[in-house]
Amino acid sequence: MKIFVKNILFLSIFITLLDHAFAQHQNVTGKNIPQKFHRVVSQTYKTDYLIYLPEGYETTSQEWPLVLFLHGAGERGSDIEFVKRNGPPRLIEEGQKFPFIIVSPQCPERTTWDNKLLITLLNEIVSKYNVDKSRVYLTGLSMGGHATWSLAIQNPERFAAIIPVCARGYSQDVYVLKDVPVWAFHGAKDDIVAIEDGKKMVDALEQAGGSVKFTIYPEANHDSWTETYNNPDIYKWLLSHSLEDRK
């Protein structure tokens, strides 16, 4: 049972741009004619991430469920130790054991979570580790909770269940998660992400016929994640769901 630090580089799809410029010669009418020049541009993604392998992973060939954890804005940067401040990485650092592979990437400073990067990272992990593809789960807090909603909405077929914590999202799009089990958490006194923002997502999903639970901590401000991730029931709840249940 270890946490490893990884450095990875991603290249996005190459984009071809068309530049218009005037040629040095003229046509028979004496007019300049624009010509097309092709320029190929690529974007490089770099991220550090922590990966936790459960006890027994290295001695068996079984496939394991996976949790992708997305931190909040306060853990952004280039020091991977920041990611251990909250959520599952903090609990692992304190000695807690989990029956999952847990992947915890770090968002660069002054940026927000990029869904292309996250799904590429997920694909990379699934290809390199013994992952049970029917039991891939997603959770995050605050900025990471917003990304949890967003990434799941863009890829509802990838996640067996999700847990967004103190998060807002795009309620007009959440209907696509009607078949994805969701358990959302929020503090009633949250002055960073208003509870109304979280409630909009839950209400819209319920109206779409989704399976959603909503836990409100009456006295909690923005930090609704400590109590959430310390609750063993959320991990049992995750493990109770599989993509096989949707067939």
Q: What is the DSSP letter of 112?
A: -
pLDDT at 107 > cutoff 50: yes
Quote the CA–CA distance of 69 and 163 in Å, as a whole number.
10
Strands (E) in 42-160, as ranges, are 44-53, 64-70, 101-105, 131-141
CB 8 within 8 A of CB 47: yes
Q: Indicate the number of domains in the chain.
A: 1
> Does residue 212 lie in a domain region?
yes
3-class DSSP assignment, residue 40? strand
Q: Is residue 31 part of a domain?
A: no
Would residue 26 count as lying in a domain?
no
- Site of tokens 């960073």: 192
Please check whether residue 38 lies inside any domain of the structure: no
C-alpha to C-alpha distance for 80 and 88, rounded to whole angstroms: 14
Residue 28: inside a domain, yes or no?
no
Q: Is residue 200 part of a domain?
A: yes
Judge whether 34 lies within some domain: no
Q: How far apart are CA 52 and CA 44, in angstroms?
A: 25
Range of the domain at 231: 2-8+47-246
On the question of pLDDT at 9 being above 50, the answer is no
In a domain, 39, yes or no: no
User: Could you read off the pLDDT of 160-213 as tens digits, one per residue?
Assistant: 999 999 999 999 999 999 999 999 999 999 999 999 999 999 999 999 999 899
Q: What is the CATH number of the domain that holds 143?
A: 3.40.50.1820
Predicted confidence at residue 37, as pLDDT, reads 53
pTM, full prediction: 0.86
Are 147 and 177 in contact, with CB atoms under 8 Å apart? no
- For the ranges 7-16, 44-53, 78-87, 158-167, which has the lowest average pLDDT? 7-16
Q: How far apart are CA 102 and CA 120, in angstroms?
A: 16
pLDDT tens per residue across span 31-53: 555 555 555 555 566 788 999 99
